[in-house]
């Protein structure tokens, strides 16, 4: 069940990030309307697959597609 949810949520995140230079996690959370646990579950999925990079920029997490 969680594996399915992670995949679906990862797809939402990928669709929002596609065509952008990336965005802060707070902005991504607003646009996807995801709760923290689902957001970070999907980040794990996407990081493991090598689809996103996450870095800290001026004290905030910044996510972008690779």
Q: What is the pLDDT along the chain (66 residues), one digit of tens a residue?
A: 778 888 999 999 999 999 999 999 999 999 999 999 999 999 999 999 999 999 999 999 999 999
Domains and CATH numbers, the chain: 2-65 (1.10.10.10)
In order, the DSSP letters of 8-20 are: HHHHHHHHHHTTS
CA distance 28 to 64: 10
Distance CA 35, CA 25 (A): 12
pLDDT of residue 3: 81
The full DSSP string for 46-62 is HHHTT-EEEEEETTEEE
């Amino acid at each position: 069940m969680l594996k399915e949810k992670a995949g679906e949520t990862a797809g939402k995140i990928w669709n929002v990030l596609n065509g952008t230079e990336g965005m802060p996690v707070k902005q991504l959370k607003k646009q996807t309307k995801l709760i923290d646990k689902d957001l970070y579950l999907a980040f794990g999925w996407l990081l493991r697959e090598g689809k996103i990079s996450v870095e800290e920029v001026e004290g905030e997490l910044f996510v972008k597609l690779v």
